Amino acid sequence: MSDIKAVNIHIAPGDTRPIFKQIVDGIRMEIACGNLPVGCKLPSVRGLAMQLTINANTVAKAYNELTSQGLLEARQGLGLFVSQPRQQLNLAEQQKRLDNAVQTLVNQVAYLDFEPQQILDKVSSALGKLATSSKNETGNHE
């Protein structure tokens, strides 16, 4: 049986996103960065709720959302595991979400005192972390 992997996410009380959404986003990023690899067992609803000192119903809602997105899979009697990635969105929906995300980023940084290149460098660096973890997962294993 696989060991339970610690989920390294933090809840920010001042964040405008609901707590369950912060959990969804945090776990999605942990998966994308390779910190929670495919087949990895996640803490129980109660376990993560205790770790984050939040209501178990909030964690259950986040886990349900991640399961419906295809990122987690429930195994009867065993718990929740990171599932094999599969693209569930068509190309048009992927493009729409990318456009929305870019527009949100632009709106958030429009009035900050940064040059466009500084912003692009930050985005490139963040995406580079994702690309690095993806290469490590598909790279040669000795």
In Å, what is the CA distance from 79 to each residue of 36, 45, 53, 74, 99? 15, 9, 20, 6, 35
Nearest to 23, CA basis, from 105, 51, 84, 74: 51
Evaluate whether the domain defined by 19-82 bears CATH number 1.10.10.10.
yes
The pLDDT, as a whole number, for residue 141 is: 39
- Do 28 and 133 meet the contact criterion of CB atoms below 8 Å apart? no
pTM of the model: 0.72
The pLDDT, as a whole number, for residue 118 is: 93
**For the chain, domain boundaries:** 19-82, 91-138
The pLDDT, as a whole number, for residue 2 is: 59
- Do 54 and 19 meet the contact criterion of CB atoms below 8 Å apart? yes
Compute φ and ψ for 31, nearest 5 degrees. Answer: -70, -45
The pLDDT, as a whole number, for residue 133 is: 52
Walk along the chain (142 residues) and give the pLDDT tens digit of each residue.
457 777 889 899 899 999 999 999 999 999 988 889 999 999 999 999 999 999 999 999 999 999 998 899 999 999 999 998 776 678 888 899 899 999 999 998 988 999 999 999 999 988 887 755 554 444 443 3
DSSP designation for 36:
S
Question: Cα–Cα distance between 70 and 87 in angstroms, integer?
Answer: 9
Nearest to 62, CA basis, from 11, 25, 13: 25
- Do 77 and 39 meet the contact criterion of CB atoms below 8 Å apart? no
State the residue for tokens 């992927």: 94
The pLDDT, as a whole number, for residue 53 is: 93
Tokens of 103: 């527009």
